[in-house]
Amino acid sequence: MKKIGFVLNPIAGMGGRVGLKGTDGMVKEAIKRGAKPFAAERAKEAMEGLSAKIFTCSPPMGEECLGDCEVIYSPPKKTSALDTKKACKAFLNKKVDIVVFCGGDGTARDVYSIIGKKLPILGIPAGVKMHSSVFAVNAIAAREVLTQFLEGKTQLIETEIMDVDESAFRDNRLKTKIYGYAITPYKKMLIQQGKMVFSSMDEERYKKEIALFLSLICKKGITILGAGTTVEKIAEELGIKKSLLGVDVIKDGKIVARDASEDEILHHLNGEKARIIVSPTGRQGFIFGRGNQQISARVIKKVGTNNIIIASTPHKLAQTPYLFVDTGDKEIDKKLVGWRSVITGFGIAERKEVRCGYLLSNIYK
């Protein structure tokens, strides 16, 4: 029987819905804003029903997510990145076949710093930022990849370990860096690609066209603007200073909430009709669930899946094979999948398929 080492970052993703763009060094502030842990739920979803010997840590870093397992590391009450690293060293001593972690890019870096290329690693996505390509597209997809790996049906590929400077990220600046290349079990469409930033004169021209077109509909009613430079251009066209990496709310062409949390967005909706404008992450293709967790399943339910507008420059869209959703709500994800129009210029749209891991995992059954 194959052996799995599993470690959970208990605070992963807590900063997302409350607008903190990450949780590193911000746990107290996240809790103050009403953030609640949710990584354990995603881990349970990914780890249930696996035919393997699982080694893990005592709560809150793993055991609580599993059924039959063996605890080989016990962290202190207040956990840190050091505990993730100590757990990974314990996994190496047990000669596990794969290390599985639940968290975001910061956790991926911690795991990689110990494991390197000695063993395959796989991420269950639960962070705010997930630019690395070690992650499955969602928890269900992670379980399917693990099942296939345990049965010897996956290939191993090199995957990027990426992270952003969170202090710069909170200051509206995106600074990414590749920290190394890990080994990850791969199944097509179930493992996400690393994030890519597109930049050229043509990109700027198309962003301007998109902004000219979509700014017209933002002058009336409520619009929730997602993160990224494509959406930022829409705000510029309206004469509004937008948070580049946050989520903002506009009403009748005026900003009413900058860098809004999930609760702030819900407050401004208050029964009124609204629309959401988002742009996919470059190459990864995520429109929900990566870096914009403030636009939660609750927000999408209020707005309605028919009132979502997707915008992308033609080149970025061409380099993004599929669009993905990972809201954490299966019913919402299922409503979002299918072919959708993507605005690529002034009055111009292309059709692109939206997918989610819940349905994709079925193709390997």
Q: Which pLDDT tens digit goes with each residue over 197-221?
A: 555 567 889 999 999 999 999 999 9
Task: Name 362's Cβ contacts closer than 8 Å, sequence gap at least 6.
Answer: none
Q: Which pLDDT tens digit goes with each residue over 224-265?
A: 999 989 999 999 999 999 987 889 999 999 999 999 999 999
- Residues 20 and 165 both lie in one domain: yes
Is residue 31 over pLDDT 70? no
Asked if residue 282 lies in contact with residue 316, where contact means CB atoms within 8 angstroms, the answer is yes
Task: Name 277's Cβ contacts closer than 8 Å, sequence gap at least 6.
Answer: 214, 218, 223, 224, 225, 226, 231, 234, 309, 310, 311
The CA distances from residue 308 to 233, 260, 335, in Å, are 18, 18, 12
- Residues 95 and 240 both lie in one domain: no
- Residues 35 and 177 both lie in one domain: yes
- Residues 354 and 322 both lie in one domain: yes
The CATH number covering residue 157 comes to 3.40.50
Compute the distance between CA of residue 192 and CA of residue 352 in angstroms, rounded to an integer: 17
Asked if residue 119 lies in contact with residue 99, where contact means CB atoms within 8 angstroms, the answer is yes
Side-chain half-sphere exposure of 29, counting CA atoms within 13 A: 13
Is residue 195 over pLDDT 70? no
Question: Which pLDDT score, from 0 to 100, does residue 339 have?
Answer: 96
**Strand runs labelled E in 222-290:** 222-225, 248-251, 254-257, 274-278, 286-288
Instruction: Answer whether residue 193 is part of any domain.
Output: no
Q: What are the beta bridge partners of residue 185? A: 156
Instruction: Answer whether residue 192 is part of any domain.
Output: no
Q: Which pLDDT tens digit goes with each residue over 63-94?
A: 999 989 999 999 998 999 999 999 999 999 99
- Residues 173 and 266 both lie in one domain: no
- Residues 220 and 151 both lie in one domain: no
- Residues 36 and 101 both lie in one domain: yes
Q: Which pLDDT tens digit goes with each residue over 287-313?
A: 999 889 899 999 999 999 999 999 999
For residues 337-353, average pLDDT: 95
Compute the distance between CA of residue 215 and CA of residue 210 in angstroms, rounded to an integer: 8
- Residues 166 and 269 both lie in one domain: no
- Residues 166 and 209 both lie in one domain: no
- Residues 51 and 23 both lie in one domain: yes
Q: Which domain holds residue 238?
A: 201-364
Q: What are the beta bridge partners of residue 224? A: 249, 276
Asked if residue 65 lies in contact with residue 91, where contact means CB atoms within 8 angstroms, the answer is no
Mean pLDDT check: name the lowest of 23-32, 145-154, 356-365: 23-32
Comparing C-alpha atoms, which of 116, 159, 162 is closest to residue 136?
Answer: 159
- Indicate left, alpha or beta for 82 from its phi (over 0: left) and psi (-120 to 50: alpha): alpha
- Residues 263 and 144 both lie in one domain: no
